[in-house]
Structure 1
Amino acid sequence: MISTQFLLTALVVVIAPGTGVLYTLALGLGRGRRAALWAALGCTLGIVPHLLAATLGLAAVLHASALLFNVVKFLGVGYLLYLAWSALRSGGALNVEPSTRVEPGPAIARRGALINILNPKLSIFFLSLLTPFLSGNPATVTQETLILGAIFMAMTFAVFVLYGLFAATARRYILGSARIMAWMNRSFAAIFALLAGRLALERA
């Protein structure tokens, strides 16, 4: 069940830049190490509903229901566009600036969790990712799915923390340049807007 092939596959998936990685990087650059750690935690916790959906068979229901899929999808699109706007707005959640404003950690984590929760494709993704590595024993499938999911979450948190700490370290080098900060904010906004457009085109 827990094979080298699974660990390598999970690692490749986790390392690949996605919305969670971008969010963690933005928080590390914009707010520093503490914020990056909360962002990593939130993005990891956002996996839980999709893992449970895959375990309980709800992923198949979501995939079969076009209406439910589209409701979650467009909530996710709207949320990603909100994050794009917050990267451009002075004082916004993702705005990279020299401000030392401290934001409550749970609020940072909640935003990170919503990024994953409002992506309906993740439930289907977990179903397809974990199934090949199950033993095939119906009596242990739930336990095996939860164990593999927990390992995936642990790897996600560890890798995201590294991304966040890297960004927090780089923060000190960009705060002295208004041009670099403006470029970073526009880049994050553009990327989140593009991700929103890609999500809008997804089909169940």
Structure 2
Amino acid sequence: MSIAFLVTTLIVVATPGTGTVYTLAAGLSRGRRASVVAAFGCTLGIVPHLVATITGAAALLHTSAVAFQTLKYLGVAYLLYMAWATLRDKDALVVDDDQAPRPASRVVLTGVLINILNPKLTMFFLAFLPQFVTPGQPGSVLRMLELSAVFMLATFVVFAGYGVLAASVRGQVTSRPRVMTWMRRVFAGSFVTLGAKLAFSAR
């Protein structure tokens, strides 16, 4: 495992994005457990991109403008939906120990969808992983799986860390109504900004 791969992976994973925003929101609204579950969902969302890269399907996204644009705008639409849902749900960031916990399956599914509908992640795997794998050599697929596993582990650890950190201050933050109003706006604005960035991105 090269240092260059590890450093690049940590930079990519730690850079704030849709998964980070979602995990932070989960930590603030539901606590440590929800943030870890959200991080797990975002990590699972990497698997389809990995499979697409290994099977060569990612090459279709790279060469087909229609395929890329379709997935891109599905992702944009979902991010805008997340922004709308965050502003609409006044209880989204409320600390209430008596409220029914959000099903883990729903938290995971949202995290998975956030990363599945991100064609830039497939582009990252297509452009990044091959640099650390010798093409045509025996075990190249296994090597790619190994590197991908490290990337996914880093994603889970970093995202969970973000979420747990947010959960540790949720009591102080969510007990202030005005702060919560601005937090909802910040998260919604973050989703809109990320959606706009994705919408105007080129391959």
TM-score (norm: length of structure 1): 0.93
Q: Deviations over 1:162-192 (max 9, x none)?
A: 1110011110111221111111000000110
Going from structure 1 to structure 2, the CA distance change for 1:56 and 1:107 (only over 3 Å counts) comes to: same
Q: Which residue of 2 aligns with 1:114?
A: 113
Question: Does the CA-based 8 Å contact 2:28-2:174 persist in structure 1?
Answer: no
Q: CA deviation at 1:140?
A: 2.0
State whether structure 2 residue 7 is matched by structure 1 residue 8: yes
Question: Does the CA-based 8 Å contact 2:43-2:155 persist in structure 1?
Answer: yes
SS of the residue aligned with 1:180? helix
Question: Does the CA-based 8 Å contact 2:95-2:171 persist in structure 1?
Answer: no
Q: Equivalents in 2 of 1:114, 1:130: separation in Å?
A: 22
Question: Does the CA-based 8 Å contact 2:173-2:179 persist in structure 1?
Answer: yes
SS of the residue aligned with 1:143? helix
Q: Equivalents in 1 of 2:100, 2:180: separation in Å?
A: 16
Q: Equivalents in 2 of 1:200, 1:52: separation in Å?
A: 24
Amino acid of the structure 2 residue aligned with 1:173: Q
State whether structure 2 residue 202 is matched by structure 1 residue 203: yes
1:163-182 maps to which residues of 2 (within 5 A)? 163-182=162-181
Q: Deviations over 1:93-120 (max 9, x none)?
A: xx31234341000100100110110011
Q: Which residue of 2 aligns with 1:186?
A: 185
Question: Does the CA-based 8 Å contact 2:75-2:195 persist in structure 1?
Answer: yes
Q: Equivalents in 2 of 1:171, 1:150: separation in Å?
A: 31
Q: Equivalents in 1 of 2:100, 2:166: separation in Å?
A: 17
Q: Equivalents in 2 of 1:58, 1:136: separation in Å?
A: 17
Q: CA deviation at 1:76?
A: 0.7
Q: Which runs of 5+ in 2 are unaligned?
A: none
Q: Which residue of 1 aligns with 2:104?
A: 105
Q: Equivalents in 2 of 1:48, 1:39: separation in Å?
A: 15
Q: Which residue of 2 aligns with 1:127?
A: 126
Amino acid of the structure 1 residue aligned with 2:94: E
Amino acid of the structure 2 residue aligned with 1:88: L
Q: CA deviation at 1:43?
A: 0.2
Q: Deviations over 1:130-189 (max 9, x none)?
A: 121113443222111111001100111111111110011110111221111111000000
Q: Which runs of 5+ in 1 are unaligned?
A: none
Q: CA deviation at 1:91?
A: 4.9
Q: Which residue of 2 aligns with 1:45?
A: 44
Q: Which residue of 2 aligns with 1:21?
A: 20
Q: Which residue of 1 aligns with 2:80?
A: 81
Q: CA deviation at 1:71?
A: 1.4
Amino acid of the structure 2 residue aligned with 1:159: V
Question: Does the CA-based 8 Å contact 2:84-2:188 persist in structure 1?
Answer: yes
Q: CA deviation at 1:13?
A: 1.2
TM-score (norm: length of structure 2): 0.94
Identical amino acids, percent of aligned pairs: 48
Q: Equivalents in 2 of 1:73, 1:121: separation in Å?
A: 8
Q: CA deviation at 1:203?
A: 2.8
Q: How many residues align?
A: 201
